Amino acid sequence: MRQLIFACFLAASLSTHAADTFRCKNDLVQVGDPKSSVAVKCGEPMMKDSSCQVLPGAVQQQAYDAAGKAIVVAPQCETVDEWTYNPGVGDFYTTIRFERGIIKSIRYGDRVK
């Protein structure tokens, strides 16, 4: 029974690990690596997307111009980048998400045809 439980934990940890790494060319990148490392190891992605994610606890503020007219000041945000790679036929499209210039997550999409 212990062996079965151990095998289940081992399988779960291995499947989780697979989502934390991406093999590009002859190298690996993983969660925690900097954007510069990904650029060197993997080259240019097929698509780049960038958005502004509102920081937790940030609130919209109101300021006033010289004439006393209200101006809405957007809450502070941080840039989040997503780079998508096409590793080749039979593999899966891979999207790497960067927050503060560091890999936050790696997601696999549809299989390349």
* HEC-encoded secondary structure of the chain: CHHHHHHHHHHHHHHHHHCCEEEECCEEEECCCEHHHHHHHHCCCCEEEEEEEECCCCCCEEEECCCCCEEEECCCEEEEEEEEECCCCCCEEEEEEEECCEEEEEEEEEECC
* Model confidence, pTM: 0.69
pLDDT digits (tens, 9 = 90+) for 46-96: 999 999 988 777 777 778 888 888 887 777 888 999 999 998 899 999 999
